[in-house]
Amino acid sequence: MNIRIRYIPIILITLLAMSYLFVQTKSIDINKHNQLINHFAQFMLIDSRLNQNILEVRQVILTSYDSTVGKTNQLHKLLAEIKFILKNTQPKHIGNFTPLIESAIKSLDVKENNIENFKSINSIFTNSLRYLPTATNQLSEKLPLDTQGDVVTLLLTEQLRDILIYNYSNDKVILDKLNETNKLLTTIFKKNYPNLLNELASLQAHTKVIIHNKQKIDRVVSDILTTPSAKKTNDILALYISIYNQKMKQVNFYQKILYSLLIGLLLYVAYILSRLNKTGRILQKTINDLKYQKSAIDQHAIVSILDTNGCIQYANDKFCHISGYEFNELINQSYTITKASLHPNSADHSFSKALTHNEIWHGNIRHKNKSNGHYWTDTTLVPFMNDDNKPYQYVVIQTDVTDIFNATEKLHLQSAALEAAANGIVITDKSAKILWVNSAFTKMTGYTLDDTTNKTPKLLNSGKQTKSFYKDMWDTILNGQSWHGELINKRKDGSLYSEEQSISPVIDNTGKISHFISIKHDITQRQMIEEALRRSQKLDAVGQLSGGIAHDFNNQLGINLGYLDLVKASLKNEPTLSRYIDISIKSASRCVELTRQLLSFSSKHSAETSSINLNRLLKDQELIIAKSITPEIKIKYVLHEPLWTTKINSGDFQDSILNTVINARDAMGNDGTLTLTTQNINISTDNLNKPAGDFILVSITDTGTGMDKKTLDHIFEPFFTTKAQGKGTGLGMSMVYGFAKRSGGFVDINSELGTGTSINIYLPRFISEPCETPETNESKTCPTGTENILIVDDEPSLLRLTEKNLQSLGYQTFLANNAQEAIDILSKEKNIQLIFSDVVMPGNMNGYQLIKQALTEYPNLKALLTSGHTKDSSQKEMPLNFSVAQLKKPYNIFELATHIREALDQD
């Protein structure tokens, strides 16, 4: 490129110079020159021919003048043409030529005249010469044949001879002699032959013509031959040749320069060609490189080329692949074919703006592929400019960054998660300098991210830990291992808190520790929970204890009731005694009820739900509720009948009621009214705050202090309490909330400061056969039988009571104190139809194991178990796939009779 621009003016100047020189060399028109020289040559030739012809005519070698005809005309014509050519080719020198030419023409005219003269004279001369011998002879013949005549004849003959000689010479002597002879002859003829005087005169006239014209003809011939027309023409030629040579010299000089320039130019062309060749090779290499670069780009990036209208003119395989379109589908389509229109408008706008403003554009764009999926690209648009600085195409190079974008999004989420994490997170570099903390950390410690900049976690040091504690920690994490531990740290405000911390070192690519990540968990609350748990476990133990006592108590009550039944039966005729017995039985029954409630409380972990009428459940709990509150507080039950049944865990319900009642009690102090209300309620779909449907509403309303808004907001949070330390766990209301939720219902609270609080528990209606209330045994007759029954119980009084009852019902009974005895009896007595056993028994075998063994050995045997424990707790010990009917202790005779009969009738 540079070479061309630098040398083009030089080449142009050289070419101009060469053209000038070429024109100069052509200033001599060689054709005209040749023509001119030819004319000169012709002139000379014709001129010399003319001279030759004249001489030939003179010598009578030629017998006509035809050869001279037109010659001078030709010479004139040649001169005119020479003049014409010179005028055209030598306009500068024509001034020098003109006089020469004029003089040549003049001399040619002279020559022409001389030739005409020569022809005339020659004709006259030769004619006379030719006639002279005849004339002489004719005159001689006329002379008399005498001496005088002979002399005259001799004289005439001599004259003839002399004339002939004179013709070929210019001898003056002969001329003189001829003149003398002429005079002599005239004298003789006048004197002697006057009659022949005319004849002589005629002869002498011819003689005179010869003599007279002889000199003339010689002069004319001489003039013709020496006429300088040829010489003058020669002068013109000489002048022309000298000018020509001069010019030729110059032309030769120009030619030399021209040839050297030409050689130079050829050398330069050769140089250019070699350079071009080299450039071509470089260009080829560049093209190859570009090809490879293009293919490299194609391998890496999504490449497309847009025309000035934004239509796709080229798209590489990657483009086709990612967009899902075929190459042919993309060509001549607008670039908007992949436009997703989902990224911010500004990106769209700036891209189209770049297309119109011809700027390089860079940015991320979200695209839509053929199947309406999306992908992100990192896009660069480069306009290609032509010489007018106008774009002729745009090259768009894109990189698929969909994964990066997704990862970024994920990272963003993760970072948000970290930020939102409940645990405090601290990231430090390897020298423990804090790089980042999350908001949970701030919440935990009071230190913000700015506060911790360029600080280490030492700022939390409370001094409660020993130096060796920290050394141990550092040794662990610097070893590349994670450290876990609990420690007490100091907040920004100086207060202390407990935290569980785990520190993990981050290992970089080189295997070295680059960062530490510390996750802190404020365990103050957990410690409180643990405390609560400990307390609840204590309660559980109390429950278990009371359960155990209640069991034994139940047994004793059962015995008591059983014998009271027997006494009553035997005192049918003593009405006063019977009345006393009835009071006693009633009192014992009341004791049974009390123990049952106690047992129910202790087994609160049961998750079993059942269809329940809440009114009955509340009545069952009436006693415990009454005992839970201070006597000054009045309890009012407003129980609507009939109440719908619900399916709940009754224990949880009772706990919830108890918790709520205790809260009400605490809110009221020593005075007030507690109202328990049940009612059916239908919540329509119009009520947006509550779920729609049929609910049973249980309201516990007190006339206590009420709660403020702040307390209401937190009331269901675990461990939230307004009570003095140690008085409450803060779990009561959250337990209520959890129970309602679990049961498919909800809780709402109406509270007004100074007026009181109403806790409303909504429990969903359950439509099924309601559990039948047990009927009184008086109204029923006991089923009877005659089968043999083996009774197993470790309590002898109970064993005997059961024996009496069963015998009264008509059955044959066998008794065993423990499992072993029972096995023995079974092996002896083959006709036993039913084994009726207590579950809890001392010895190696409990009731379950006994029944299992017995049923294995005697497949036809029927079995019935009885237990003082609740069904649920006793079932825990029951082996799997074991289905034997159970009778709950204490039972009356009716219950016994019914269960025995059912067991016996079972298939």
**Residue 59 contacts other proteins per CB under 8 A:** no
Buried-exposed string 242-265: b where 16+ CB fall within 10 A, e elsewhere: ebbeebeeebeebbeebeeeeeee
Given 24, 42, 131, 279, the residue binding other proteins (CB under 8 A): 131
# of chain residues touching other proteins (CB under 8 A): 25
Q: Return the number of the residue (131 or 716) whose C-beta is nearest other proteins.
A: 131
Given 130, 353, 464, 538, the residue binding other proteins (CB under 8 A): 130
Q: Return the number of the residue (112 or 793) whose C-beta is nearest other proteins.
A: 112
**Residue 63 contacts other proteins per CB under 8 A:** yes
49 closest CA partner among 77, 70, 35: 70
Edge-first strand order for the sheet with 788-792 is 812-816, 788-792, 834-838, 862-867, 886-888
Which residue stretch of 203-211, 312-320, 365-373, 888-896 sits at the interface with other proteins (rule: CB under 8 A)? 203-211
Instruction: Report whether 227 contacts 111 (CB < 8 A).
Output: yes
**Residue 127 contacts other proteins per CB under 8 A:** yes
**Residue 119 contacts other proteins per CB under 8 A:** yes
Q: Return the number of the residue (135 or 643) whose C-beta is nearest other proteins.
A: 135
Given 14, 202, 352, 461, the residue binding other proteins (CB under 8 A): 202
Given 116, 235, 329, 694, the residue binding other proteins (CB under 8 A): 116
* Separation of alpha carbons 612 and 108, rounded Å: 168
Shortest separation between residue 123's beta carbon and other proteins, angstroms:
4
Shortest separation between residue 171's beta carbon and other proteins, angstroms:
25
Q: Return the number of the residue (142 or 690) whose C-beta is nearest other proteins.
A: 142
Tell how far CA 363 is from the center of its chain. Answer: 10
Residue type, 828: K
31-37 long-range CB contacts below 8 Å, 24 or more apart?
32/85, 32/88, 32/89, 33/89, 33/244, 35/85, 36/82, 36/85, 36/86, 36/89, 36/240
Q: Return the number of the residue (128 or 518) whose C-beta is nearest other proteins.
A: 128
Instruction: Report whether 771 contacts 612 (CB < 8 A).
Output: yes
**Residue 64 contacts other proteins per CB under 8 A:** yes
Q: Return the number of the residue (122 or 760) whose C-beta is nearest other proteins.
A: 122
Q: Return the number of the residue (53 or 518) whose C-beta is nearest other proteins.
A: 53
Q: Return the number of the residue (130 or 412) whose C-beta is nearest other proteins.
A: 130
Which residue stretch of 201-209, 237-245, 319-327, 678-686 sits at the interface with other proteins (rule: CB under 8 A)? 201-209
Q: Return the number of the residue (141 or 775) whose C-beta is nearest other proteins.
A: 141
Q: Is omega for the bond preceding 783 within 30 degrees of 0, making it cis?
A: no
**Residue 520 contacts other proteins per CB under 8 A:** no
Given 35, 52, 96, 120, the residue binding other proteins (CB under 8 A): 120
604 closest CA partner among 558, 689, 546: 546
Strand positions, DSSP E, 249-332: 302-306, 312-315
80-87 long-range CB contacts below 8 Å, 24 or more apart?
81/39, 82/36, 82/39, 82/40, 82/43, 82/233, 82/236, 85/32, 85/35, 85/36, 85/39, 86/36, 86/236, 86/240
* Separation of alpha carbons 552 and 546, rounded Å: 10
Which residue stretch of 123-131, 252-260, 275-283, 365-373 sits at the interface with other proteins (rule: CB under 8 A)? 123-131
Given 18, 94, 124, 459, the residue binding other proteins (CB under 8 A): 124
Tell how far CA 489 is from the center of its chain. Answer: 50
Which residue stretch of 114-122, 230-238, 306-314, 899-907 sits at the interface with other proteins (rule: CB under 8 A)? 114-122
Shortest separation between residue 71's beta carbon and other proteins, angstroms:
9
Shortest separation between residue 129's beta carbon and other proteins, angstroms:
10
* Separation of alpha carbons 470 and 474, rounded Å: 6
705 SS3 class: coil
**Residue 209 contacts other proteins per CB under 8 A:** yes
Q: Return the number of the residue (42 or 113) whose C-beta is nearest other proteins.
A: 113
**Residue 646 contacts other proteins per CB under 8 A:** no
**Residue 215 contacts other proteins per CB under 8 A:** no
DSSP conformational letter for 67 = G
Given 27, 38, 48, 73, the residue binding other proteins (CB under 8 A): 73
Which residue stretch of 205-213, 680-688, 823-831, 885-893 sits at the interface with other proteins (rule: CB under 8 A)? 205-213
Shortest separation between residue 59's beta carbon and other proteins, angstroms:
12
Q: Return the number of the residue (135 or 258) whose C-beta is nearest other proteins.
A: 135
Q: How many residues does the chain have?
A: 907
Which residue stretch of 116-124, 156-164, 234-242, 793-801 sits at the interface with other proteins (rule: CB under 8 A)? 116-124
User: What is the enclosing helix (H) or strand (E) of 478?
Assistant: helix 467-478
User: CA dihedral in degrees (689, 695, 700, 705; nearest 10)?
Assistant: 10
Shortest separation between residue 63's beta carbon and other proteins, angstroms:
4
Buried-exposed string 331-362: b where 16+ CB fall within 10 A, e elsewhere: eeeebebbbbeebeeebbebbeebbeebeebe
**Residue 65 contacts other proteins per CB under 8 A:** yes
* Separation of alpha carbons 390 and 384, rounded Å: 8
Q: Return the number of the residue (60 or 545) whose C-beta is nearest other proteins.
A: 60
Shortest separation between residue 11's beta carbon and other proteins, angstroms:
42
Q: Return the number of the residue (196 or 243) whose C-beta is nearest other proteins.
A: 196
Site string for other proteins, 135-154 (x = CB under 8 A): x-------------------
Given 123, 222, 514, 610, the residue binding other proteins (CB under 8 A): 123
Q: Return the number of the residue (75 or 893) whose C-beta is nearest other proteins.
A: 75
* Separation of alpha carbons 568 and 95, rounded Å: 188
Helix and strand numbers (H, E) in the chain are: 26, 22
Q: Return the number of the residue (119 or 491) whose C-beta is nearest other proteins.
A: 119
894 is written with which tokens?
């009716």
**Residue 167 contacts other proteins per CB under 8 A:** no
Given 9, 66, 95, 467, the residue binding other proteins (CB under 8 A): 66
Q: Return the number of the residue (123 or 334) whose C-beta is nearest other proteins.
A: 123
Q: Return the number of the residue (133 or 144) whose C-beta is nearest other proteins.
A: 133
* Separation of alpha carbons 805 and 795, rounded Å: 16
**Residue 206 contacts other proteins per CB under 8 A:** yes
Strand positions, DSSP E, 325-423: 361-368, 374-385, 391-400
Shortest separation between residue 130's beta carbon and other proteins, angstroms:
6
User: What is the enclosing helix (H) or strand (E) of 236?
Assistant: helix 229-300
470 is written with which tokens?
């920290």
Residue 474 backbone class (left: φ over 0; alpha: ψ -120 to 50; beta: rest): alpha
* Separation of alpha carbons 774 and 806, rounded Å: 21
Instruction: Report whether 283 contacts 54 (CB < 8 A).
Output: no
**Residue 68 contacts other proteins per CB under 8 A:** yes
Given 69, 583, 607, 880, the residue binding other proteins (CB under 8 A): 69
Shortest separation between residue 60's beta carbon and other proteins, angstroms:
9
* Separation of alpha carbons 271 and 10, rounded Å: 15
Q: Return the number of the residue (88 or 123) whose C-beta is nearest other proteins.
A: 123
**Residue 716 contacts other proteins per CB under 8 A:** no
Q: Is omega for the bond preceding 383 within 30 degrees of 0, making it cis?
A: no
Instruction: Report whether 500 contacts 520 (CB < 8 A).
Output: yes
Shortest separation between residue 83's beta carbon and other proteins, angstroms:
17
Residue 865 half-sphere exposure, CB side, CA atoms within 13 Å? 26
Residues that bind other proteins (CB under 8 A): 63-66, 68-70, 73, 76, 113, 116, 119-120, 123-124, 126-128, 130-131, 135, 202, 205-206, 209
